[in-house]
Amino acid sequence: MTDRTDVLHQVLAAAATVFECEVGPSDSFFSLGGDSIMAVELATVMEGLLDTEVHTETVVDAPDFAALAAALAGTPAGDVSPATAGPAAAAGAERR
């Protein structure tokens, strides 16, 4: 694993790709409009850039992208946390 600053750059690059806008360290996944589909996409893009496993739970649990980078730089992913969406949300937009 590279150091935290490098990881942060990669996280921001991945988020900018998924959200199609400029992204800063203090932005959060949900404040930018993230949902369950984007969590899968962001985890996949980050895995490609960082060459390490990234869980969607890690993505949605981080309060901002700086914290997400810290979590990815410091410890391997693998935690368990609340879901991003229930199936009931699937009727709304398919991307909760």
State the residues that interact with another protein by CB under 8 A.
29-37, 39-41, 43, 55-57, 60-61, 81-96
Q: Which is nearer to another protein, 22 or 88 (CB)?
A: 88
Q: How far is the CB of 3 from another protein (least distance, A)?
A: 26
Token code pair at residue 71 = 């979590």
Q: Which is nearer to another protein, 37 or 70 (CB)?
A: 37
Q: Which is nearer to another protein, 22 or 91 (CB)?
A: 91
Q: Provide the 10 A C-beta neighbour count for residue 39.
A: 24
